Structure 1
């Protein structure tokens, strides 16, 4: 079996194994094996030269390409989901909000609401801010 084919099989195997890890380490080694397969097919160098190409290209990919790819793929903070995503959003008062009753329209949905300060009363049409979600109730506050 030609050395180029062995290097190509190694490259495909490493790239396939990368799917299981997701760390980009094996993918960089697969790139080195692909480079070794290419040089072996084009130049017919001895196996030790192919190994040297594999080593140099793999190290360069690990040092130069992998960190940049990881930063790009893992940039930013994870998106907030669930009730955490609703905190701080603006809502429209639909039904008068008192300590024991009220409704707001929040992100297109109607929520039961109560004021952050128990004595506050908000009228329909007021814009309020969701301070937290308590069960299925939005706890809201209106800045003056």
Structure 2
């Protein structure tokens, strides 16, 4: 037992001497630097992982900004980039990196812009059937073309007048056909009354 106790004391003394020796100091300093470097690498890795985890939130914010811009302009360009940002958010949520997210944004936005913008603009520019303002007489005397033939008990028609589609009634209750030219003769309340001024060609009546 005495021998083992002496060996233990000698071993402890050697360790203490090693720590205070130049070689021991160098080794201790190197070990400390290595530990510090490992901590910095782990911190950087954690920060990168945290940033990547929240990239989808950033893309959703960008998509919301594009949506607000679209509401303000109605040009159907910002809308598609907003959808593209949504696709990038989904890509980020699935764990893909920044290059894949940018590819998703550009691909989806470009495809939608090229394929559907013209369709939506044409849909917005379509003529819509409206009623005149109550008592407005500015349309009296103007002429239009019947777009939808007479229907119902009052022979109601739709005609295009100055690029706008209106609902009207023939003054005599006569049925009007598609393509006939009509003239507005009076307005009662918000109802147009028209009469035929020219019969449509046979090819329009039968088409």
TM bucket (normalised to shorter chain) is 0.5 to 0.7
Contact 2:66–2:78 at 8 Å: present in 1 too?
yes
Contact 2:186–2:194 at 8 Å: present in 1 too?
no
Contact 2:80–2:112 at 8 Å: present in 1 too?
yes
Q: Secondary structure at the match of 2:139?
A: helix
Under a length normalisation based on structure 2, what TM-score does the superposition of the two structures give?
0.41
| Deviation of 1:85 (Å) | 6.5
Task: Considering Cα pairs closer than 8 Å and 6+ residues apart, tell me whether 1 or 2 has the greater RCO.
Answer: 1
Counterparts of 1:128 and 1:20 in 2: how far apart (Å)?
39
Greater than 4 Å deviation, 4+ residue runs:
77-82, 89-92
- Structure with the larger helix share: 2
The correspondence for 1:9, drawn from 61, 65, 70, is 61
| Deviation of 1:78 (Å) | 9.2
Q: Match for residue 31 of structure 1?
A: 83
| Deviation of 1:87 (Å) | 2.3
Structure 2 unpaired stretches of 5+: 1-50, 144-167, 173-184, 198-207
Counterparts of 1:76 and 1:24 in 2: how far apart (Å)?
19
Under a length normalisation based on structure 1, what TM-score does the superposition of the two structures give?
0.57
Summarize deviations over 1:81-128 as a string: whole Å, max 9, x none: 651366247658xxxxxxxxxxxx83325xxxxxxxxxxxxxxxxx98
Counterparts of 2:106 and 2:116 in 1: how far apart (Å)?
15
Taking a change above 3 Å as real, the CA distance of residues 17 and 128 of structure 1, as seen in their structure-2 partners, is closer
Structure 1 unpaired stretches of 5+: 93-104, 110-126, 132-144
